[in-house]
Structure 1
Amino acid sequence: MIAHYLKTAWRNLFRNKTFSVINIGGLAVGMAVALLIGLWIYSEVSFNTSFKNYNTIAQVLQNQTVEGKIYTQQADPFPLGKALQTKYGSDFKHVIMSSWQGDHVLNLGMKNIIKSGAYMDKGADDMLSLKMLKGRYGALSQPNDVYISASTAKALFGNADPMNKQLKIDNKLDVKVAGVYEDIPYNTDFSGLDFIAPWDLYVTSESWIKNNQTRWDNNSFRVFVQMADHTDMQEVSKKIADIKLNEVSAGEKKYHAQMFLAPMKDWHLHDNYENGVQTGGKIVYVWMFGIIGMFVLLLACINFMNLSTARSEKRAKEVGIRKVVGSLRSMLIKQFYFESILMVVIAFAIALLLTRLTLPWFNTLSDKRMIIPWGNVFFWLTSVIFILFTGIIAGSYPALYLSSFNPVKVLKGSFRAGRNASLPRKILIISQFTISLILIIGTLVVYKQIKFSQNRPVGYNQNALIDMYVNTPEYAKYFSAIKNELLASGAITNMANSTAPVTNVWSSTNGLTWAGKDPNLTQDFVQTSVSTDFGNTVGWHITRGRDFYATGVSDSSSLIINEAAVKYMGLKNPVGTIIGDTYDSSVHYTVIGVVQDIVSGSAYTPVQQAFYVLNKYPSDIGLFYLRLNPSKSAHEAIETIGKVFKKYITEAPFTYNFVNEEYAQKFATEERIGKLATFFAALAVFISCLGLFGLASFMAEQRTKEIGIRKVLGASVFGLWKLLSKDFIVLVLISCAIAAPVAWLCMHKWLQKYEYRTAISWWVLAVPALFALAIALVTVSYHAIKAARANPVKSLKTE
């Protein structure tokens, strides 16, 4: 019986080629989209799962209450690690103090490369279950041993054995290679960790770290833990809540610091906290694209349903004869399901090919490294379930509808599908275009939000501005020489240095005080130390007062604040205000100027209050800013800069970044989401139009005789076109009426997560509606005009 079903299904496939091509093509595109989204979702939900201790690793975070609002942060105080080991040691297998992962220069003789690394406590190798290719666990307990990744070993040593070879980190710390580990997979939070150096080496290398070993009020470090066997992470998280609060000074207790454990499984998808409560994160995009994938696949299934039921009168006699000769309705349902599943199987094979061809492009678009797991049994089992599910969904309505025909009416020739038969088709068309329009409107809102934030005044001149991070002590003594030579060469017009980039926040403090300060004002100020010509180099805008003097000598106790700080502090005449330091009563600054707000943090939130002071050692900062000479090409200027740097600094590679490109990275996530949404929206429209094209073809064929009679009676081509098109246009208009409010509600809610956000303009709703109408008209008009221009004699000669 199954062989009979398959043979019949195969014959019907070739008997109706146009119907088959449209259905299989639509299903193939829909399934390819579902496959791509499925691979993307798997990549997201499997993030960090490559770590053997995935379920027992956590990071210690803290909540602090500032002016009635709870803020969650990753940075922890130095003494926290030791306190956790001392008081709750039995709850943890490992407590790991760690620096922030960042770029460093690795020196091997005359070879210098930049690699990302971190300083971590002993036990980090075991916690991260590093796959050692050479060496073994335990090296981090030695103060000068270092682990390097396989790619780093290759870059430094080629095919030579790296074990026990001497290296330098940032041309100042001598270390010995004690192990080589397999590169950590890309879909983890430790991806790109090219070396791990001992925590003790980090502590002894910097005086500011030594000075913070007992300070609970300085949050500059990270703490990771691995739970001991048979311990409950949530219970331990509650136990350690007050560990910092019990140690801080009376002045710090007002922040009510609460420590808690954030499990590794939440780091990637559930990393968003609002007022101290976990409120999601990237999981929103997983759900969003999962729903989009289902909708796009549903569109293809709707095409199948519509075209199958549209052909109902052509299949009616077949159904009638089968029933007369003894076929039960259940047998007919099975037959139609087999036809559906056969088409889905063929479509799936094409979808796999489409996925394979588009995956490299999709990886680039989504910033992933996904592959199709051909050898994974689970993948193929899921594929079989996917095929059956799609086949059943697509074939359910046609199978139930076609098998219900009355054989007597069919064979007497009195059967007509009737008006009621077209109602489900109309509902399905409305559903298709409603989904497509919601996707288009959503995409437009995403791009409008990005554009709105990109056009926000940034507070400085990004054009022809580059920055360079030189992490080696040699730059300090050569700063002035490099600057003077570059100015003389004409490659630049100015050069300065800073402790933090203008595109990011690296340091903040809540230790400022001033006359009349409200004791309830406890928010942090962003703090940055700069050289005297920083303002002129980056092109900031002084709105009140003055900039630092070029010599800087008389400004050693001067301070410049931004407009956000003026507003926050409630200063009517800020210039001349004396500002003190609550951590050091001997320190006082005088406000000499106010600068326009510089967008250093998120481009979607208000600018935080900030201040700028002169660094006591202007040349002792490794972050340089250079203003390129506009009269020279950027390529020529950078070539000159590179030669000068290499002349003076031989211990570090010459690298640079354009500041406008760094700033653009703030929008990378939203732009990526926008591009993905555009891609899926375009495919949704394509599938909808494909179905509309096929449906219009059958409708025109069904009304051939009616069109012939109307032409004989004098109907014009335009009149016939209007007759055949109006039903479809009405359906699209209904779709627009439904999609507009639904899309507005969804995108309005999405925009609420941004404090600095755009409005949903009327044209965002109108343009997609006009586009849908236009594309529907074009799709339907082909068959409508073709039918209207046909010779009526051919259609009426049998009457």
Structure 2
Amino acid sequence: MISTGLKIAFRGFLRNRFFTTFNLLSLVGGLFVAFVAIGYIGFENSYDEFHENSENIYRVGWTYRSQDYSILGFENGADDKQLNVVTGLKKIPGVENVAQFITSDNLEFIEWGDKRVQEKGFLTTNTPLEFASLFTWSPLMGSFTDFGKDFNKVLLTKSTAFKIFGGVMNNSSEIIGQVINIGQENYKVAAVIEDVPMNSHFDFTLALSNPRIDYWGSRVYMGVADNISYDEVELRMNQAMAKINPSVVKDPLYKEHFLQPLEDIHLKSNILYELKTPGNYSFIYLIGGFAVFILIITLFNYANFTLAIKSKQGKSIGIKKAMGAKSFAVARQFILEGVLLALLAVPILALLLALIVPSFNSLMGVNLSASLWQNPQTFFLIVGLAIVLGVLASIAPALFLSTKNALSLFNQKLKDNRFEHFSIRKYLVVSQFVILISITSVSYFVIQQMDFIENKDVGYKKKGCYMRIRHPKNRIFFKNVLDKFLG
């Protein structure tokens, strides 16, 4: 029964090549938009989830001058004071681990033997053991334990290690333990890891362990026990802050410290000194809504053309019914053909993804898979979506044609058939145009707003902007500074 239905379906596809091709292209386009939307939304919501126990890791921030900061300042920058906050936070009940670090985008030379390369994206921590145990990185060679044992160790990412060591990348004995020079200081290679995933809220090309952080503050993260809520830890932290950092608490401009769940930083945090540009729920809603609209247009288009094709087959349907075919059997054949055509769009979609997704990743700064088969969950979701589209698009012709008796199918010109008050096909076409006009109008409005913001005159004029400085040497100094930063 099914094999016969498949043969009939394929004969119908070949007989109506134009409609079949157009429907296939429409389905591929709709499923492509759905795949990209699913992938983008999933990627934006997956930030930092690759860390083990990521749900129990929090970033410590603080509020000062009515501003929220992601960096905690050191008291006078003294070496012992740099670890005061870490030591104090570790003593809070419920806190299991505390690490601090800074990152820098300054270019530095890395020297190994006669080789000299330039790199940026350095991470420096004076809590290397805690850093290696709190965060989860994919090791290629070496040991995280070795990185945390002592200072002046370096943790290399794969791409940076390849720049330095090149052809010996497959031999860990020729890399681990090697001494490289960075910024006039020697560091021993402790481990090599995979490059930091794109869905991490902070990046680095290599991590250095130093007894001192040469900066005015650091980024502090803590691991919290499973059996305690972070609200309770946050309360205890603020109560203990008078002892941990008394000079800050006494400042009248200081308000409080707070915890941010690691998995929420990308989408729910936009405070000062963020390490990456935060995500935006508006983009998620926009892309998700756009995908829904495109799928609705695809559905209406598919249903419209399916109804047009089947309306031309009135006599063949009438013959089937005259020979004893039941309405259910006719409707089932319509649905089978609709689902089959939708499933044929899936392998074509797989080829399209390999061509277009890399460009989308470059444009949006994401890392979506260009393979439909790589993620089984997404694959089955797309296949399920194709089946739903096929079924829904076939319902209209199935209900409209299968319920008619054989005599009416022979006597009426079904392609001109209309309901008493409206035409199904006209309704579908008008609905498509309404959705398209709505999307176009919204897109035009968004583009105009973005163009307005980019080209708005904020009142600053480089020419004619002067600062009154009396001393000639100071004038020359500030002139050079302004020329450097203002071009």
Specify if TM > 0.5. yes
1:476 alignment counterpart = none
Matching of residue 74 in structure 1 with residue 87 in structure 2: no
Residue in 2 that maps onto 1:224: 221
SS of match in other structure, 2:110: strand
1:3-56: CA deviation from partner (whole Å, max 9, x where unpaired): 222122112212222222221221122222222333333332333233233222
| Whole-angstrom CA distance in 1 between matches of 2:290 and 2:449 | 20
Q: How far apart are residue 370 of structure 1 and its match?
A: 2.8
Q: Map 1:283-298 to 2 at 5 A.
A: 283-298=281-296
Could you tell me how far apart the structure 2 residues matched to 1:92 and 1:174 are? Answer: 34
What is the CA–CA distance in structure 1 between the aligned matches of 2:259 and 2:249, rounded to whole Å?
25
Distance 1:352 1:255 in 2: 55
Is 1:155 aligned to 2:157, yes or no? no
Which amino acid letter does the alignment assign opposite residue 325 of structure 2?
Answer: S
**Aligned residue identity for 1:542:** C
Cα drift, residue 199 of structure 1: 4.9
Indicate conservation of the 8 Å contact 1:133/1:181, yes or no: yes
Pairing of 1:597-636 with structure 2 (within 5 A) = none
Match status 1:183 vs 2:195 = yes
In structure 2, the CA distance between the partners of 1:443 and 1:245, relative to structure 1 (3 Å rule), is farther
Structure 2 counterpart of 1:436: 436
Structure whose alpha-carbon radius of gyration is higher: 1
Report the CA distance shift for 1:370/1:224 in structure 2 as closer, same or farther (over 3 A): same
2:138 matches 1:119: no
1:53-132 matches, within 5 Å, as: 53-64=53-64, 66=66, 71-78=67-74, 79-86=84-91, 88=92, 90-108=93-111, 111-120=116-125, 121-122=127-128, 123-132=130-139
Does the alignment pair 1:194 with 2:205?
yes
One-letter identity of the residue aligned with 1:74: S
Equivalent runs, 1:202-601 vs 2, <5 Å: 202=213, 206=214, 209=216, 220-244=217-241, 247-248=246-247, 252-257=251-256, 259-272=257-270, 281-311=279-309, 313-371=311-369, 372-413=371-412, 417-420=417-420, 422-457=422-457, 539=462, 541-542=464-465, 546-547=468-469, 549-552=471-474
* Paired residues of 1:106 and 1:167 also in contact (CA < 8 A): no
**Shift of residue 250, structure 1, vs aligned partner:** 7.3
**Alignment-derived partner of residue 14 in structure 2:** 14
How far the C-alpha of 1:164 sits from its partner, in A, is: 3.1
**Other-structure match for 1:170:** 183
Question: Tell me, what secondary structure is at the counterpart of 2:192?
Answer: strand
Residue deviations 1:460-503 (CA, integer Å, cap 9, x gap): 78xxxxxxxxxxxxxxxxxxxxxxxxxxxxxxxxxxxxxxxxxx
- Alpha-carbon distance in structure 2 between the residues aligned to 1:175 and 1:329: 79
Amino acid at match of 1:170: G
Q: 3-state SS of the aligned residue for 1:268?
A: helix
Asked if the contact 1:237–1:261 (Cα under 8 Å) also holds between the matched residues in 2, the reply is: yes
The answer to whether the Cα contact below 8 Å between 1:144 and 1:201 also exists between their aligned partners in 2 is no
Distance 1:155 1:625, change over 3 A: farther
Partner Cα separation in structure 1 for residue 367 and residue 315 of structure 2:
53
Q: Please give the alpha-carbon distance, in whole angstroms, between the structure 2 residues aligned to 1:323 and 1:72.
A: 73
Change (3 A) 1:133 1:4: closer
For the 8 Å contact 2:117–2:163, the answer to whether it is kept is no
Whichever residue aligns with residue 222 of structure 1, its letter is: R
Distance of 2:238 and 2:323 partners within structure 1: 77
In structure 1, the residue corresponding to 2:52 is in which secondary structure?
Answer: coil
Residue identity opposite 2:207 in structure 1: I
1:335 maps to amino acid: Q
**In the alignment, residue 358 of structure 2 is paired with which amino acid?**
P
Does the C-alpha gap of structure 1 residues 659 and 324 become closer, same or farther in structure 2, counting only changes over 3 Å?
farther
Following TM superposition, by how much is the alpha carbon of 1:187 offset from its aligned partner in structure 2, in angstroms?
2.6
Secondary structure at 1:400's aligned position in 2?
Answer: helix
Quote how far apart the aligned CAs of 1:457 are. 4.2
| TM-score for the superposition, normalised by structure 2 | 0.82
| Structure with the largest fraction of helix | 2
State the Cα distance separating 1:292 from its structure 2 match.
1.3
Rounded to whole Å, the distance in 2 between the matches of 1:29 and 1:414 is 32
Aligned mates of 2:211, 2:456 — CA distance in 1? 44
Query: Would the aligned equivalents of 1:148 and 1:180 in 2 still touch at CA under 8 Å?
Result: yes
Q: Secondary structure at the match of 1:3?
A: helix
Whether the 8 Å contact between 2:327 and 2:402 is mirrored in structure 1 is yes
1:140–1:146 contact (8 Å) kept in structure 2: no
Q: CA deviation at 1:190?
A: 3.3
Q: Once the 2 structures are TM-superposed, how far is the Cα of residue 541 of structure 1 from its aligned partner?
A: 4.3
- Look up the match of 1:145: 153
Q: Structure 2: how far apart are the matches of 1:250 and 1:347? A: 63
Give yes or no for contact 1:141–1:198 (8 Å, CA) kept in 2: no
Q: What does the per-residue CA deviation read over 1:314-343, in whole Å, with 9 as the maximum and x for residues that have no partner?
A: 233333333333333222221111110111
Q: Name stretches of at least 5 consecutive residues in structure 2 with no aligned partner.
A: 75-83, 169-173, 273-277
SS in 2 for 1:288: helix
| Paired residues of 1:320 and 1:410 also in contact (CA < 8 A) | yes
CA contact (8 A) 1:460 1:541 kept: no
* Superposed CA offset, 1:243-297 (max 9, x none): 547845676345422x2222222122232479xxxxx952332232122122212
Give the conservation status (yes or no) of the 8 Å contact 2:346–2:383.
Answer: no
May I ask how many residue pairs the two structures share in their alignment? 459
Give the whole-Å Cα distance in 1 for the aligned partners of 2:303 and 2:379. Answer: 26
**Within 1, Cα distance between the matches of 2:329 and 2:486?**
69
SS at match of 1:370: coil
Name the aligned partner's letter for residue 174 of structure 1: N
Distance 1:438 1:155, change over 3 A: same
Letter in 1 for 2:433: F
Alignment partners' CA distance in 2, 1:330 and 1:241: 69
Report the Cα offset of residue 344 of structure 1. Answer: 0.7
User: Are the equivalent residues in 2 in contact too, given 1:271–1:282 (CA < 8 A)?
Assistant: no
SS at match of 1:143: coil
Aligned to 1:42: 42
Report the AA paired with residue 386 of structure 1.
Answer: L
Mapped partners of 1:540, 1:81: distance in 2: 48
> C-alpha distance in 2, partners of 1:443/1:659?
34
Aligned counterparts, 1:712-731, within 5 A: none
Q: What is the alpha-carbon distance in structure 1 between the residues aligned to residue 102 and residue 411 of structure 2?
A: 85
The amino acid that maps onto 2:303 is: M
User: Structure 1 pair 315/233, CA: closer, same or farther in 2 (3 Å)?
Assistant: farther
What SS does structure 2 have at the residue aligned with 1:98?
A: strand
Tell me the SS of whatever aligns to 1:201. Answer: coil
Residues 391/27 of structure 1: CA separation in 2 closer, same or farther (3 Å cut)? same
1:373 is displaced (CA, Å) by 4.9
RMSD after superposition: 3.4
| Residue 79 of structure 2: aligned partner | none
Q: Per the alignment, in what secondary structure is the counterpart of residue 46 of structure 1?
A: coil
Residues 59 and 261, structure 2, Cα contact 8 Å, conserved in 1: yes
Does residue 133 of the first structure (1) align with residue 161 of the second (2)?
A: no
